[in-house]
Amino acid sequence: MASSNTLWIPIAVLIVGFVAAVSIGSIAWYNSKRPPGWEDKERPDYIPKVNQEDENK
């Protein structure tokens, strides 16, 4: 018997996926080259720095 109380499972998967996408997107955004007007903005402390090869050239 399928219970109608199992609707929370796909909703939980969607919420976890959304949070993961926002987290990964934020890390990628703050570690990318800044668009015009954002060049002098600082990276927040909670965003890890990803090694960029372009800075070493």
Tens-level pLDDT at each residue, the chain (57 residues) = 456 678 889 999 999 999 999 999 988 887 777 777 777 777 778 778 777 665 554
Q: Which are the contacts of 54, defined by CB distance < 8 A and separation ≥ 6?
A: 33
DSSP alpha helices (H): ranges in the chain? 8-31
Total-model pTM: 0.55
pLDDT for res 3: 61
Q: Are 45 and 26 in contact (CB under 8 A)?
A: no
pLDDT for res 55: 54
pLDDT for res 28: 86
Structure-token pair, residue 34: 């800044």
Q: Which are the contacts of 30, defined by CB distance < 8 A and separation ≥ 6?
A: 43, 44, 47
